[in-house]
Structure 1
């Protein structure tokens, strides 16, 4: 029909598509064809010789056929089925956190209908408009724990994504082929969110029915991770400094729990998807399926206090935490072998949570609130220096002390206190700042009440009684980290009780000293060093500077004329050597003063005593000077001396002061004296 000049109508069964002329000189209407309704008309020109070719373009994924109709001639021609498969719904993140999907947080996604354009390139189908009802469901991986599906929010609907197509739908409003969709995981998981446009009819088949448009998801499958791995220590008082409550002893086992928790905006002020430092995420809602995906958690500690203390003392349990229920797991075999306050954080054992990147997985790690305080398990008490008992007099050739005379330390005993953990490791953090809780008042003594070095002479076999007047000791000044040393007080005073039954041979004292208890401000108790070489702090005998001697002060009786030069009365200090009293030539210490002497003159004033004083020199001093007054008779002198210079002069079991008699007006050759005999004083 080379002379055909008729008009034909072009159409499609899907009513989609546009037309253009490839070869032909006739007129196409509309021109250009932008209607996308699949319809156009062509008026042949005589020069076409009855032949024209057309280009058909369709952005819809239709299964259609093409029809040509010449209505004036009543001729209809149809082609075979033509299938267009280039339409798909693309789901991609449009959120500040990108693809970091966090359980408990609503994330914004972009849904776009993608088509292939006339040039063969893919782009957004801008003609996809209005509100469309899209099916939504999950395509879970084999690693997914099977928890609740995420909430998917469209224009006016909220839908929990089910596990199969047709289980739920959501209305989505498109403008220019694009729409916003909000997906909020309510639990952890690994899945792909699927969408399906099954009803809009944007693509149609030969019968004109809507062809479903499936979806693809950028970065699928997606991992919905916990916001954080929260760590909790049951029973923890949460001490923040050295004055806070006590949690455990160093080395003592305790329980730690880990929970995968949901997002809480209050813990993420900068919106970066990571809990901010100091946030208490333990009170967040749980991601109840955490741990059911097969992941396990390892814990590590960070030392918060004391500053610069020993931090590497945390035992992270024999195995990772792998047994979870309701999103929480725990173990009872954690311990911290030091003193102080720590924080504990959890991390995924294999470094990647459900295939998420290392960076995403590390964002789940957050420090726990303060855990502590940890104290020593016990204080090991070690005798560092047994000390030396001093002597009351050390001015002579040999230092000594009279029985009954007070004496003190030449060198005070020193005790070292070592804080230790349950496993006996030294807890060096205890030596820093206010974490050192030991005070001198927390150390009590077992003072000796007898000295086994000598027995009383009454035949009972009892040891000499040992007396003490003591003061609190002191802890040596120290810098942080330095050992703890406790010293007995230099003000301590000791003596042996002197009685008429303690006239004993000189002896080196051997009283047994010791500690009764050691406890710090936290009530941490003590234990003696089990491997002590020097001796036990519970019972030790100090060294001695010199012996203890039973001594007395002796006065000699004197006689002479009632006029003339003064009478001279010798005196000296003596001690019992086991056989007799001998001059104590080592005594160059004892003070003396005539003001301590009482003179009794039964027959009137016989003499005047010169006012003299001094110290003994090798046990003696210049004699007392008694100036006669011209009267005849006796003067009795009694020297008031301390108990250690008294004696049982009359063997009446009583210690008394020394006494002597000065006789005036009696001299050799006096006719009234028939017999003269000198006898010892007293």
Structure 2
């Protein structure tokens, strides 16, 4: 019957003031109450709906069993739904039809915001190309009592429940789910299905199946409005286990579902955060800031639950969507945008006029809160722990600390139970000192009170008990819901007792190593039996020898004992003789507590001399927490560089060691408060700002030897100093082991701290819980400059360079031996600086770009014919190496190296070609040796973890040909113009042999060899032909063939002339074994070459 008890408890908590009947309970409390009734036999299975995820467990589910069917209403449709075109939009809610035929370009939409439910009593046919639904999957639920036929290219979204069979044709598509009590047949290979469990959780099935749980009801009580300040509602919080900060400065980050823990969070305006599905639960054990324009989260509100164990700041135009619980204060700046629900145990302050809020209660049912809702915290309660003194005065309230603990004596930080308080004498009145909620004291002076813990209490409250009766009592704390009760040790209230107070400038904040001022007052109650008036015993004056000792709290690390007025060390129990002498004036003595270590203890005074009163005079103080002054950070090997020009420290992503020491007070380090005023505040100067250069030096402070022995842990975080995150630089925060929990003599360390970016950082150490021994005081310290951090190595990638053909104006697809050529597409290398984990260091740019421009490279050729005499010649005299995109503005850690103006030649070593001079297509490989990509820090391009050369191979793009130009002899009449043929040839394979052939590719619809009249020289005139009698012109070549035209020299000018064509050296030839020479031939006038086929000819006369 325990489940019935719990469900009824929930019912009355939810505001039910009268019994609503069995079916009213089912309607209000759903599956939880139904399951209880089933378990005791009061309800049978057919009367309640199953879980929606069981009805729709996959994209397609056929032949489901009766236990997983929907609980359908009566289907009341009287008309057929027939659509052949257009878009039809249905409002949310129920729509009934008899059957349906949808065809053509029909589209079905929902109005959005809640589910449309379509009910069909008969069959439904959806023909080719119909689209249902043009919206979100959760917007549509279709119930079909007949069969469903889906033809080609139909797109379905939503959740389809079919009581008959389903047939799906080729290229049909379903996003959501289809469930059938009959068969599901697919008639095609290309049916696509995509299950949408997250959308299923958002669909409104109107009680046909169950979506919610009991936990949702309790969460609804917590998240009851868009903004809920000073809430008394609580969540059952887990331990905060984050060891690193969440710092996002750019791009979109997608978080996984489930629990993710961090120490703190900072999201800047360039960053967006998304969730991969319902629900991501973020836990921060510190403050969270959304900078201007940041977006968390770029999805529906049910995608995010966030718990902040600190303060939350949402700056201008930042957007926060989700269900957020803050155990501190919230500040919303101008144009902040909150959707979902934002709940705080502290205040919610809006510092702008345009803060937007939207309560999304409709998303509460689809949020996966995990174990945050419910009474999980109560179930772990084992007992209550007390911090009280044994002696108290009826003249002053006595401090009582009550802590909820589990069986391992650990504080239950999420405890939110209600307790009742009582005293064994039924005397006393209760009040709050440090607690979130108010206490109900009830009847005056009866020793009884009630209190409900809030999440902000973190399982620990400080109360006061005012008892006007001189008696000895105990305190009992009980949680009836958890059936747990604990009684304290005895406290003796006396009419005459020592009472303690502090007049120190730091109040009750006692700092180890700093003398702290206290006052002890001997208070007495006036002698009238009914008097409640107390005052100092003015007659108690002069030098008073006392027995003084300390009572250590359970959290005390048992360190070095304190002293009073620089006397002897105080024992932990009352001694047999007096050990401290104080001078009282009118019942008041001032004294100084000298501390040499951290701790948590109460002071006890006793005067049992009988000199002033026959009875022993006792007094016990509250528990004082003695905290470290600060935390000194030492980073092993840190060069302390403050800028890009500083000495290198570690590679980005490389582990380094951070040591943290809890240190004692030094007045020289505490001249100012955090506001910069010349007022010491008990903290190291300037360790709370963001300037690494001005921190008080704690390296010479004495260690607090017992720090860390009290089970406090230290969290390490980092802030990027240079390059400035304000300019868009990437600050990923620390990674590796960023929590230190093991200390010896006050010193702890982590040897696995990493920062994965380039730059200068400052590391902060602070208490993980920001609350030293529940004092409400944090302890922190900063490192100063840490850096310079530099890349681990470089990665390189290249484009696909392409060789050019010939010279700059050359467009033909080949190059001659001996002809210079270069690149049509220059080599472009992408240089990426990466950290030790292989991820780009985005801050490597600007002044942090240390990689010099290369000065040399080399080339080698392959693909040449066997036995060739040609060789690649590389001319780098004009080569340029240019880096671009190395400024910080891009913040991508990538630079682009362009190599231009390279010149190559395949040397023409044979004056007459050999078999190895046939045409070939070379493949070039470009190599840059390791030193060309090694920076001054030693970071280099690596292969197999070693500095290596980088090569770009298989560079092609041209064919190399051995070429020449030839002129034919020409014969003709001196009375006619004479043409002389010319050819550009190259050496090629012809059949089984090799020979020169016309290079038809030269000037064949392309720009190739350029020769003209100016390249001609006429000489060696013979016969009657003299200079000036004829002239020659050359108009160029087409497809490797050209013609030199001689003018007719005229009658009587027969003879011959030598024509020489001045060609590029790579087209010269060794014509007569005398060396390379331009082509030459004779033009003969008046002499005919003749015809080999004619033996005799004569002139014809009439």
Report the TM-score, using the length of structure 2 for normalisation. Answer: 0.45
Match of 2:953 among 540, 564, 573: 540
Matched, 1:465 2:872: yes
Q: Post-superposition shift, 1:638?
A: 4.9
Q: Post-superposition shift, 1:327?
A: 1.5
Q: Post-superposition shift, 1:260?
A: 0.5
Q: Post-superposition shift, 1:626?
A: 8.6
Question: What is the alpha-carbon distance in structure 1 between the residues aligned to residue 577 and residue 937 of structure 2?
Answer: 62
* SS, match of residue 434 in structure 1: helix
Which residue in the other structure is 1:513 paired with? 926
Matched, 1:114 2:523: yes
Matched, 1:174 2:607: no
Which residue in the other structure is 1:329 paired with? 748
Q: Post-superposition shift, 1:599?
A: 6.1
- Counting only pairs closer than 5 Å after superposition, residues 386-465 of structure 1 correspond to structure 2 as 386-392=800-806, 398-424=812-838, 426-431=839-844, 433-441=846-854, 445-448=857-860, 450-457=861-868, 464-465=871-872
Q: Which digits, 9 at most, give the CA deviation of each residue in 1:245-289, with x for residues without a partner?
A: 222223322212111111233433112223333424344221122
Which residue in the other structure is 1:341 paired with? 760
Which residue in the other structure is 1:183 paired with? 593
* SS, match of residue 513 in structure 1: strand
Q: Report the CA distance shift for 1:668/1:415 in structure 2 as closer, same or farther (over 3 A).
A: closer
Question: What is the alpha-carbon distance in structure 2 between the residues aligned to residue 263 and residue 520 of structure 1?
Answer: 45
Is the CA contact (8 Å cut-off) linking 2:840 and 2:892 kept in structure 1? no
Is the CA contact (8 Å cut-off) linking 2:918 and 2:987 kept in structure 1? yes
Which residue in the other structure is 1:301 paired with? 718
Which residue in the other structure is 2:656 paired with? 254
Q: Report the CA distance shift for 1:122/1:584 in structure 2 as closer, same or farther (over 3 A).
A: same
* SS, match of residue 454 in structure 1: coil
Is the CA contact (8 Å cut-off) linking 2:831 and 2:897 kept in structure 1? no
Q: Post-superposition shift, 1:639?
A: 4.8
* SS, match of residue 923 in structure 2: coil
Structure 2: 5+ residue runs without aligned partners? 1-469, 471-492, 674-679, 990-994, 1096-1102
Corresponding pairs, count: 556
Which residue in the other structure is 1:12 paired with? none
Which residue in the other structure is 1:51 paired with? none
Is the CA contact (8 Å cut-off) linking 2:562 and 2:570 kept in structure 1? yes
* SS, match of residue 667 in structure 1: coil
Which residue in the other structure is 2:214 paired with? none
Is the CA contact (8 Å cut-off) linking 1:250 and 1:427 kept in structure 2? no
Question: What is the alpha-carbon distance in structure 2 between the residues aligned to residue 627 and residue 239 of structure 1?
Answer: 88
Q: Post-superposition shift, 1:616?
A: 4.7
Matched, 1:273 2:682: yes
Q: Post-superposition shift, 1:529?
A: 10
Q: Report the CA distance shift for 1:212/1:632 in structure 2 as closer, same or farther (over 3 A).
A: farther
Which residue in the other structure is 2:985 paired with? 574
Structure 1: 5+ residue runs without aligned partners? 1-60, 62-83, 206-210, 531-535, 676-682
Q: Post-superposition shift, 1:227?
A: 1.3
Q: Post-superposition shift, 1:212?
A: 5.4
Q: Report the CA distance shift for 1:599/1:213 in structure 2 as closer, same or farther (over 3 A).
A: farther
Matched, 1:233 2:653: no
Question: What is the alpha-carbon distance in structure 1 between the residues aligned to residue 1035 and residue 518 of structure 2?
Answer: 107
Question: What is the alpha-carbon distance in structure 1 between the residues aligned to residue 1067 and residue 868 of structure 2?
Answer: 18
Q: Report the CA distance shift for 1:525/1:396 in structure 2 as closer, same or farther (over 3 A).
A: closer
Question: What is the alpha-carbon distance in structure 1 between the residues aligned to residue 628 and residue 913 of structure 2?
Answer: 85
* SS, match of residue 374 in structure 1: strand
Larger Rg: 1
Is the CA contact (8 Å cut-off) linking 2:513 and 2:666 kept in structure 1? yes
* SS, match of residue 649 in structure 1: coil
Matched, 1:292 2:709: yes
Q: Report the CA distance shift for 1:627/1:374 in structure 2 as closer, same or farther (over 3 A).
A: farther
Match of 2:644 among 242, 255, 264: 242
Is the CA contact (8 Å cut-off) linking 2:518 and 2:590 kept in structure 1? yes
Match of 2:619 among 215, 218, 221: 215
Q: Report the CA distance shift for 1:466/1:510 in structure 2 as closer, same or farther (over 3 A).
A: farther
Match of 2:737 among 317, 322, 334: 317
Q: Post-superposition shift, 1:225?
A: 1.0
Which residue in the other structure is 2:556 paired with? 144
Q: Which digits, 9 at most, give the CA deviation of each residue in 1:586-625, with x for residues without a partner?
A: 3333334666666665999953697989865544556276
Question: What is the alpha-carbon distance in structure 2 between the residues aligned to residue 388 and residue 669 of structure 1?
Answer: 50
Q: Report the CA distance shift for 1:616/1:529 in structure 2 as closer, same or farther (over 3 A).
A: farther
Q: Post-superposition shift, 1:564?
A: 8.2
Q: Which digits, 9 at most, give the CA deviation of each residue in 1:88-113, with x for residues without a partner?
A: 22222212222111112222212222
Q: Post-superposition shift, 1:235?
A: 0.3
Which residue in the other structure is 1:368 paired with? 783
Q: Report the CA distance shift for 1:356/1:551 in structure 2 as closer, same or farther (over 3 A).
A: same
Question: What is the alpha-carbon distance in structure 1 between the residues aligned to residue 620 and residue 756 of structure 2?
Answer: 53
Which residue in the other structure is 1:126 paired with? 538
Q: Which digits, 9 at most, give the CA deviation of each residue in 1:387-443, with x for residues without a partner?
A: 21111269898522112211111112333333333233x13424554334334328x
Question: What is the alpha-carbon distance in structure 1 between the residues aligned to residue 733 and residue 1032 of structure 2?
Answer: 75
Is the CA contact (8 Å cut-off) linking 1:198 and 1:212 kept in structure 2? yes
- Counting only pairs closer than 5 Å after superposition, residues 646-661 of structure 1 correspond to structure 2 as 646-651=1068-1073, 654=1075, 656-661=1076-1081
Q: Which digits, 9 at most, give the CA deviation of each residue in 1:481-509, with x for residues without a partner?
A: 34635344231112211121655332222
Which residue in the other structure is 1:194 paired with? 604
Matched, 1:356 2:771: no
Matched, 1:498 2:904: no
Question: What is the alpha-carbon distance in structure 2 between the residues aligned to residue 419 and residue 167 of structure 1?
Answer: 72
Report the TM-score, using the length of structure 1 for normalisation. Answer: 0.70
More RCO (CA 8 Å, sep 6+): 1
Question: What is the alpha-carbon distance in structure 1 between the residues aligned to residue 584 and residue 661 of structure 2?
Answer: 40
Is the CA contact (8 Å cut-off) linking 1:441 and 1:472 kept in structure 2? no
Q: Post-superposition shift, 1:524?
A: 1.2
Question: What is the alpha-carbon distance in structure 2 between the residues aligned to residue 96 and residue 598 of structure 1?
Answer: 109
Which residue in the other structure is 1:644 paired with? 1066
Is the CA contact (8 Å cut-off) linking 1:238 and 1:369 kept in structure 2? yes
Q: Report the CA distance shift for 1:235/1:166 in structure 2 as closer, same or farther (over 3 A).
A: farther
Q: Which digits, 9 at most, give the CA deviation of each residue in 1:140-195, with x for residues without a partner?
A: 34543333223432xxx655434453787555443333232222312112222333
Q: Post-superposition shift, 1:526?
A: 1.5
Is the CA contact (8 Å cut-off) linking 2:500 and 2:519 kept in structure 1? yes
Question: What is the alpha-carbon distance in structure 1 between the residues aligned to residue 968 and residue 567 of structure 2?
Answer: 121
Is the CA contact (8 Å cut-off) linking 1:586 and 1:619 kept in structure 2? yes
Q: Report the CA distance shift for 1:457/1:187 in structure 2 as closer, same or farther (over 3 A).
A: closer
